[in-house]
Amino acid sequence: MAEYILARKNNRNIPREDKIFGISSRAKAAIAEKGKDNVISGTIGALLDDDGKLVVLQSVDEVFRSLKPVDYAEYAPIGGTQPFREAVKKAAFGSSVPEGYIEAVATPGGTGSIRNVISNYSEPGDKVLTSDWHWAPYGTISGEIGRSIATFELFTEDGTFNADSFRAASSALLAEQNSLVIILNTPAHNPTGYSLTDEDWDKVIDILTEEAKCGKAIALLVDSAYIDFAGDEDKYRSFMPGLSRLPENVISIVAYSLSKTFTLYGARCGAMICVAKTPEIAEEFKRVAEYSSRGSWSNSAKIAQVILSRIYGDPELLDKVNQERKIYRDMLAARGRAFSEAAVECGLKIVPYDAGFFVSVPCDDPDGISRKLEERDVFLVPLAKGIRVSVASLPEETCRKLPAIIKEVMDCEN
Ligand SMILES: Cc1ncc(COP(=O)(O)O)c(C=O)c1O
């Protein structure tokens, strides 16, 4: 049978079944057959409690339930409601507001921001730069709009940020194309859990300042999807003021998402927020972002915009939300620690992990290892360079015993 019947391929490789979806459904079937205590399913990219139920912040849910039809039935303006635009800047930057011209445009989740940045700050045929370990949809989003992904090595041999690889890849792409979009997902990177340190950030800014001397247009997209599950909100935002050091032809754009921070995954809300050196560049950002929104999804959903505006309009409520999130963030940190410590104990090598939903285990044959793990009722996601474990979806006790199981399977394979 031909690969497509009526649809056009358009340079894309569209699998018949989404890999993660396939593994998740096999995990569900195994749980139904053998019971949840006999199956380990670490595939899901959402925070689950120890009983496997989705964590929903009660304080956010209360706001949701208090809304009136006008809060969700009405269209929001294309770029977002005014209170939302102000609230989301506060949510993204906290007390670490960079100097410069800042504009926020609402998008459906962080995904919408990524799409709009790529479509406006790169040209058809361009390569978008990100790290070798990366969230696969970057490739999907790029491919949908006629771009593709190029990668630098995230880590050196000794597990630190590979600034040399970042410099070499940026420089090579800037020699080949007129513009460059760079995506850095930090802190609490998906899939490794790595967070760029302040020193790593200094290097990134110095390298881009140097590379920008070519005069071409550069957009640095900071995908901050997991920022509020990394750790102390202020500490993990300390890199933000440094973005102001970038020269005029480098625009920084934070892709902010309400999915994890406010447990509003399904409400599809986020924002693209620029830090620009001139009012003209900031104004242009707003204009092109709103235009692209109109030409793709039109307005973003209003409901979560209203929820965020309410939370930021009421300091007591904001405090309540932050306190509640901290309880779950501590739960997540304990799981990550349990996995990392157990990995050291059994000699399982993992990719440098700092915080967040995922830990990755590097290996040569991720698909093979993942199949072997499935035979033992352990369901994890194979990536290009290793296996991804969602500690966000597993109780601490399971996180503690899982490394030894993975190690055993990998040792059998070798
Ligand atoms: C690395 C990364 N970036 C961005 C997102 C965007 O999520 P959303 O569109 O729900 O905000 C996700 C979600 O899983 C992610 O893992």
Task: Please state the atom number of ligand 1 nearest to the C-alpha of residue 190.
Answer: 1
Residue 413 has pLDDT above 70, yes or no: no
The yes-or-no verdict on residue 414 having pLDDT over 70 is: no
Mutational pocket test of ligand 1: of 20, 44, 111, 138, the residue with most ligand atoms within 8 Å of the beta carbon: 111
Is the shortest distance between the CB of 110 and ligand 1 below 6 Å?
Answer: yes
**Residue 190 CB–ligand 1 contact under 6 Å:** yes
Residue bearing the CA closest to ligand 1, atom 7 = 110
Atom number in ligand 1 closest to CA 257: 11
Over residues 62-73, the pLDDT tens digits come to 999 999 999 999
pLDDT (average), residues 269-276: 98
What's the CA gap between 258 and 357, in Å, rounded? Answer: 15
What would the pLDDT profile of 362-397 be if each residue is shown by its tens digit?
999 999 999 999 999 999 999 999 999 999 999 999
Q: Computed over its alpha carbons, how large is the radius of gyration of the chain?
A: 21
- What whole-number percentage of the chain has pLDDT above 70? 99
Rounded to an integer, the average pLDDT of 105-126 is 98
Q: Which residue has the higher pLDDT, 301 or 22?
A: 301
Q: How far apart are CA 72 and CA 385, in angstroms?
A: 42
> Which of 115, 142, 226, 259 for mutating ligand 1's site (highest number of atoms within 8 Å of CB)?
259
How do beta strands 358-362 and 378-379 pair?
A: unpaired
**For residue 201, which of 176, 236, 234, 231 has the smallest C-alpha distance?**
236
| Mean pLDDT value across the chain | 96
For residue 223, which phi and psi values (nearest 5 degrees)?
Answer: -85, 105
Angstrom CA distances, 149 to 152, 169, 388, stand at 10, 12, 20
Q: What are phi and psi of 148, to 5 degrees?
A: -140, 175
DSSP 29-71: HHHHHH-GGG-EE---SS-B-TTSPBP--HHHHHHHHT--HHH
Tokens standing for residue 278: 């001139």
Section 257-268 average pLDDT: 98
Separation of alpha carbons 267 and 56, rounded Å? 12
CB of residue 193 inside a 6 A radius of ligand 1: no
Give the distance (Å) from ligand 1 centre to CA of residue 339. Answer: 23
Residues 288, 268: Cα–Cα separation, whole Å = 21
What pLDDT does residue 2 have? 74
57 and 263 Cβ atoms separated by less than 8 Å: yes
pLDDT given at position 18: 82
Ligand 1 center–CA 224 separation, angstroms: 9
pLDDT tens digits, one per residue of 299-327 = 999 999 999 999 999 999 999 999 999 99
Q: Is 259 in the pocket of ligand 1 (CB under 6 A)?
A: yes
C-alpha closest to that of 227 among 374, 103, 329: 329
The label of the residue with tokens 């990524």 reads: 114
* Residue 258 alpha carbon to ligand 1 centre in Å: 9
Q: Whose CA is nearest to atom 3 of ligand 1?
A: 225
Distance, CA of 403 to CA of 393 (rounded, Å): 15
CB distance 130 to ligand 1 below 6 Å: no
Q: Kind of pairing, strands 386-390 and 358-362?
A: antiparallel
- Band (pLDDT 50/70/90 cuts) for residue 170 is very high
Give how far Cα 307 sits from Cα of 88, 104, 304, Å: 11, 17, 5
Query: What is the rounded distance in angstroms from the CA atom of residue 72 to the CA atom of residue 222?
Result: 29
Which residue's CA lies nearest to atom 16 of ligand 1?
Answer: 190
3-state secondary structure of 356: coil
Sorted by where each starts, the structural domains of the chain and their CATH numbers stand as 19-54+319-413 (3.90.1150.10), 74-313 (3.40.640.10)
Instruction: Report the C-alpha gap between 272 and 252 in whole angstroms.
Output: 10
What span, in angstroms and rounded, lies between the C-alpha atoms of 84 and 92?
12
pTM across the whole model: 0.97
* Amino acid at site 75: Y
- Ligand 1 mean position to 135 CA, how many Å? 8
Q: Whose CA is nearest to atom 14 of ligand 1?
A: 45
